[in-house]
Structure 1
Amino acid sequence: MSVASSVISIVQEELAKHSATRLLLVRVRFGALANLVPEAMEFAFEAMTVGTDFEGAKLELAMAPVKLLCGGCGKEFEPQGKELLFAPCPACGEEAGHHVLAGRELYVEHIEAE
């Protein structure tokens, strides 16, 4: 609920800046490591917009992949499958010591309004 509330606050601020009143669509980009449950976010957004000017607005969620930097050889790579935390480097096979370059982000990427 707190993430949905924050998204709504951000959208309200942006709409006020541009003298828009009706929200049509908001796209939120989140990393695979951001601990966001899409179904819960959709439910919270819908529940919090019922009876408001944002009722009926579409929420799009776009997941950003995890990108790691190998701690051994320095190669950037995207782990595949569900094993995001145990991801051997495809170049050298190093299994630990990687740095997360992307995959933790959570931000409003796009807003459409009238």
Structure 2
Amino acid sequence: MHELSVTVGLVDMIAERIPAGVRVSRVRLEIGRLSGVMVEPVRFCFDLVAAGTPLDGACLEVSQPPGWGRCRRCGDEVALPDLLTPCRCGSHEIDLTGGEQVRITAVEVVDGPTNGPTAGPGGGRLAGRGQEVS
């Protein structure tokens, strides 16, 4: 299950950037539908992997952007619910343009220990732009 190693990588990436005494209250991820990463195992692993780190007790929110591609044969933009969906013209020659990402889109933090998933006074955002994860 590579979702465990993906989750470990995400938690490590965030934890190593958190200053001492700051706790993470919320993590927002994008996991594209064509990324090959399953959302439910990441959710399951997150609390276990985050235990004992500044992310311990943080709320995890995951969005799943759809897949998109451009057909090499006709040039149409194609919605891709999966990698086997052909273009309307019948071609499977499609260059992916979206839906492959595993990205941290936001990390909300609070000063000091947190007992729950919501930011209290002094809470803020540490990362607002996406951080790609391979």
TM-score w.r.t. structure 1 length?
0.81
For residue 62 of structure 2, what is the aligned residue in structure 1? 61
Give the secondary structure class of the aligned counterpart of 2:18: helix
For residue 6 of structure 1, what is the aligned residue in structure 2? 9
Structure with more of its chain in helix, by fraction = 1
Deviation string, structure 1 residues 63-103 (Cα, Å, up to 9, x no partner): 111011012111112134xxx2232323xx13211111112
The root-mean-square deviation of aligned C-alpha atoms, in Å, is 1.8
Structure with more of its chain in strand, by fraction = 2
Gaps spanning 5+ residues in structure 2: where? 111-134
TM-score w.r.t. structure 2 length?
0.71
Residue 13 to residue 52, structure 1, CA distance change in 2 (3 Å): closer
1:13, CA displacement in angstroms?
A: 3.1
Give the secondary structure class of the aligned counterpart of 2:62: strand
For residue 71 of structure 2, what is the aligned residue in structure 1? 70
User: How many residues align structurally?
Assistant: 107
Q: Is contact 1:86-1:95 (8 Å) kept? A: no
1:21-32 to structure 2, matched below 5 A, reads: 21-32=22-33
1:61-100 to structure 2, matched below 5 A, reads: 61-80=62-81, 84-90=82-88, 93-100=89-96
Higher relative contact order (CA 8 A, sep 6+): 1
Q: Is contact 1:71-1:94 (8 Å) kept? A: no
User: 2 CA distance for matches of 1:50 and 1:33?
Assistant: 29
1:20, CA displacement in angstroms?
A: 6.0
1:57, CA displacement in angstroms?
A: 0.4
Residue 12 to residue 73, structure 1, CA distance change in 2 (3 Å): same
Q: Does residue 48 of structure 1 match 2:49?
A: yes
For residue 109 of structure 1, what is the aligned residue in structure 2? 105
Gaps spanning 5+ residues in structure 1: where? none
**Letter of the aligned partner of 1:97 in structure 2?**
E
Deviation string, structure 1 residues 34-73 (Cα, Å, up to 9, x no partner): 1212121111111112344322100111111101101211
Identity %: 25
Give the secondary structure class of the aligned counterpart of 1:96: coil
